[in-house]
Structure 1
Amino acid sequence: MNPISHLPFGGLVLGLAFAAALPVQADDTTLTGDWGGLRRELDEQGIRFTGDYSGETAYNADGGQHRAARYSQNLKLGVQFDLGKLYGLNNGDRIQLTINDRRGNSASEDLVGNRLPIQENYGGLYTRLTELSYERTLFTPALNLKLGYMAMGNDLGGLDSGILCNFMNAGFCGHPLNMSGGSGWANYPNAHLGARVKYDFSPNWQLRVAAFNVDPSSNGNASRAWHLGPKHTTGTVVPIELVYKHAGTLPGEYKLGYYYDSSDVKRIGSNKEVSGRGGHYLLIDQAVWASSSSAGRVLHAFGQYSAASEAASPFSKWYGAGVVLYKPFAGRPRDTVALGYGRAVPNPRSRDVQELAAFNAGTEYPNLNNAEQLIELSYGYQATPWLTVRPDVQYIIEPGAFSGVDIDNAWVLGLQVKAVF
């Protein structure tokens, strides 16, 4: 067992509180600074280095299965090559290389027993290549092409504003989880070979279309962490996304999407196969109020709806809604307060399979609700330009809705730390 995953919760909180108390230095946007001028010089030449760390500690205070804490972390290092600066190309040509490493243990798996990951940075506990892509405009500045080895969710399925990552639970941060739960859609940091095209109809409207190889053998497989090529291709997943954005005092972002995976998979509750599986989604981020006396104090509301194939997805529907207040206090211009509610609906076919298994085993199936529900409240404290500390509370209703196990509702206390290198 990894000892870092069982650090005493109180000691970790004290250490992070000390880090949060560091004085803010407006000219230091990264932890490692400017490297004595070398970083800025390389950037001007066309080579930009990036890096960030996130650590998430979750303590199950009540309900669930066990009282204890779990820690997980994500480390990302990248370099981008601007081929315009390096070689004089004039079509926005760039190459992105990203390496990712994850470690730790899961509060959902070990302590609560729920489906929606309490720590969004848990999963795939090894070092891997997560992106090697080439991007450029094509024929016209309105048309952008990106191809290579990359994660689908970097470009599709999530809100570009980043509003949802003011939360720690993966049910909010990222894209709706039933996309990956019922198709070949891959969550970050898992990557696949693919291509994505964006076309700007106008300053407000954009169309995104992509095609990615579906290969379950390499999706989250540590033995293929550095293999770009597919091993056992089952099909292709094609997402299509219409995006509308508007600026102004109350800016907004709206996404309507559909995806189809051509893979043949087993139908839930049957030995027969279903040819192809798909889903659709609607994502909204809309500013609903802006202070007239304090610039930057804005209240955003968000909404999520996603439905996946009921023939083959154990996670059929997801609903999410909430609000995020930016600049909650006059003296804290980069802090946030976020409150969200989510509802994850298991596929009725999966419930039928569980009930039949319980009947055949001569056991009683518990009287469960028809969905796992999540309420989350967080405060994002911007300690320095490169350090964010986020205390977090999650209340998980019907944690055993997907597993068919009667588990008490859980109160989880969390702390997320993000640092930019």
Structure 2
Amino acid sequence: MSSAVRFSRTKLSIGLLLGLSCSTALPALAASESDLLSRSTLSGDWGGLRHQLDEDGIRFTGDYSGETAYNADGGLHRSARYSQNIKLGVQFDLSKIYGVDNAGKVQLTINDRRGNSASEDLVGNRLPIQENYGGLYTRLTELSYERSLFTPALNVKLGYMAMGNDLGGLDSGILCNFMNAGFCGHPLNMSGGSGWTNFPNARLGVRVKYDLSPSWQLRVAAFNVDPESNGNSSRAWHLGPKHTTGTVVPIELVYKHAGELPGEYKVGYYYDSSDVKRIGSDDEVSGRGGHYLLIDQAVWRSPTSEGRSLHAFGQYSAASEAASPFSKWYGTGVVLYKPFEGRPRDTLALGYGRAVPNPRSRDVQQDAALDNGAAFPNLDSAEQLIELGYGYQATPWLTLRPNLQYIIEPGAFSGQDIDNALVVGLQVKAAL
């Protein structure tokens, strides 16, 4: 397919989705241009209709993210790539709609992704430089029902959804002050070596949260594993699986404390019952699992400037070495909120990550190279990432995030000798 045709289809998709989000808002936009810079969403309140629907129990949401990355040095090629994600959703609060206590909520979300990958085309590394790249089609990403059960401490959610929306990430959102998917969201060896699914991949499942105390919470879930539907556009609107291989069950303990220096701590374990081939062997492994630890801790708070604080985060995740090509992930960094007095919603973020390939995968690559009479490059056995970014809150609904990423050993997972890469990026996020 020609680039012109692809570009035309991309423009059509953007137009359709933005039109769906904003069609009812055009009269409001025309009548109230003066509040464009102060409203909370791009399309505004739709002449009061949006607020009224929310009061009646129907809440519309939407957001856009666009990520442009230019490879300035090293890697494979000097060029730029752009990717985008548009998400539209509606939530039905059944208690408000029907006037019944604790009737629950229904969430419907669709998602559309387009663009090209800087990692695949320009650098050759494993950790996606653009966190919104992948699954380039329109799909259903959630159709779920959620409510409290028996007691307010017990919350149950079931349906078609991405398990990573509720487990495996920090609830504070600190990690999405970065553009690289190695930071933003979840440790990637969870989904790289099991049936774990992160947004926008969704599966049938159930998630349970139980508040043990005001500070402690237990989360448990069970989700269908269906590898043949991953990235398969023909399955974009199919809730049922194409070929079930097993069930993935995560369990997560969460601790949150408030106060002068708040923090969030998560420890989790997951197990996928699927039978998969052992790396470097024709034998099968019955089941695969992993564990993780996530931390977000405020380490400093300004005594004179409200909202100014410094948070440190940490990530550790390990997956089964028998079947996962991505065995370990380490991440750490800091985020400064309100870096300048006149910029209360801006952020300054610096992070470092290390992704370790499975030694079994490295052995397979080395053996293949020797069989072909080729020399295998001397690599440091891990892809490393350093990212520096500034989140500029241009309006309440628009965030601009220029960033620099330095990729060390980009060929660690592919077994190629690729020069370290310096990538200049810009992330644009808008609440629709």
Using structure 2 for the length normalisation, give the TM-score: 0.92
Aligned partners of 1:202 and 1:110: how far apart in 2?
A: 48
Q: TM-score, normalization: structure 1? A: 0.95
Aligned length: 407
Alignment of 1:320-399 (within 5 A): 320-399=331-410
Shift of 1:131: 0.1
Secondary structure in 1 matching 2:227: coil
Q: Is the 8 A contact 1:62 1:411 kept in 2?
A: yes
1:236-275 to structure 2, matched below 5 A, reads 236-275=247-286
1:43 aligns with 2:18: no
Query: Could you tell me whether the CA contact under 8 Å between 1:63 and 1:408 is conserved in 2?
Result: yes
In structure 2, what is the equivalent of residue 146 of structure 1?
157
1:415 to 386, 409, 426: 426
What's 1:110 paired with? 121
Equivalent position of 1:197 in the other structure: 208
Task: Tell me if 1:58 matches 2:69.
Answer: yes
Deviation at 1:89, TM superposition (A): 2.6
Question: In the alignment, which residue of structure 1 is the partner of 2:169?
Answer: 158
CA distance in 2 between partners of 1:34 and 1:83 (Å): 22
Bigger share in helix = 2
Deviation at 1:37, TM superposition (A): 0.4
SS of the equivalent of 1:228 reads: coil
Report if aligned partners of 1:158, 1:174 keep a CA contact under 8 Å in 2: yes
Q: Distance in 1 between matches of 2:419 and 2:91?
A: 47
Structure 2, unpaired ranges of 5+:
12-32
Question: Which structure would you say has the larger RCO, counting Cα contacts within 8 Å and 6 or more residues apart?
Answer: 1
1:179-198 superposed matches below 5 A: 179-198=190-209
Residue 225 (structure 2) pairs with residue 214 (structure 1): yes
Per-residue deviation, 1:24: 8.5
Distance in 1 separating the partners of 2:100 and 2:278: 49
Deviating 4+ runs (over 2 angstroms): 1-7, 22-27
Aligned counterpart, 1:403: 414
Unaligned runs of 5+ in 1: 8-21
Matches of 1:268 and 1:352, distance apart in 2: 10
Residue type of the partner of 2:390?
Answer: Y
Q: Secondary structure at the match of 2:130?
A: coil
2:87 matched to 1:76?
A: yes
Once residues 58 and 35 of structure 2 are traced to their aligned partners in structure 1, the CA distance between those partners, rounded to angstroms, is 27
Secondary structure of 1:331 counterpart: coil
| Cα RMSD, aligned residues only | 1.6
Distance 2:141 2:102 in 1: 24
1:217 CA displacement: 1.3
The answer for the alignment partner of 2:134 in structure 1 is 123
Counterparts of 2:162 and 2:68 in 1: how far apart (Å)?
A: 25
SS at match of 2:155: strand
Q: CA deviation at 1:269?
A: 0.0
State the partner residue of 1:282.
293
Amino acid at match of 1:253: E
Structure 1 residue 237 displacement after superposition: 0.1
- The DSSP-based 3-state class of the residue aligned with 2:249 is strand
User: Is residue 2:244 matched to residue 1:230?
Assistant: no
Q: Percentage identity across aligned positions?
A: 83
In structure 2, the residue matched to 1:93 is: 104
Could you tell me whether the CA contact under 8 Å between 1:24 and 1:384 is conserved in 2? no
Counterparts of 1:102 and 1:4, CA distance in 2: 15
Alpha-carbon distance in 2 for matches of 1:77, 1:60: 31
Deviations 1:252-292 (A, max 9, x none): 00000000000000000000000000000000000000000
Which residue in the other structure is 1:17 paired with? none
Relative to structure 1, is the Cα distance of residues 152 and 420 closer, same or farther in structure 2, using a 3 angstrom cutoff? same
Q: 1:232 to 1:379 in 2, by over 3 A?
A: same
The DSSP-based 3-state class of the residue aligned with 1:350 is helix
Q: Which amino acid aligns with 1:209?
A: V
CA drift of 1:3 comes to 3.8
Q: CA deviation at 1:61?
A: 0.1
Determine the structure 2 residue equivalent to 1:311.
Answer: 322
Task: Quickly say closer, same or farther: Cα 1:294–1:24, change in 2 above 3 A.
Answer: farther
Mapped partners of 2:70, 2:151: distance in 1: 51
Whole-Å separation in 2 of the counterparts to 1:115 and 1:204: 36
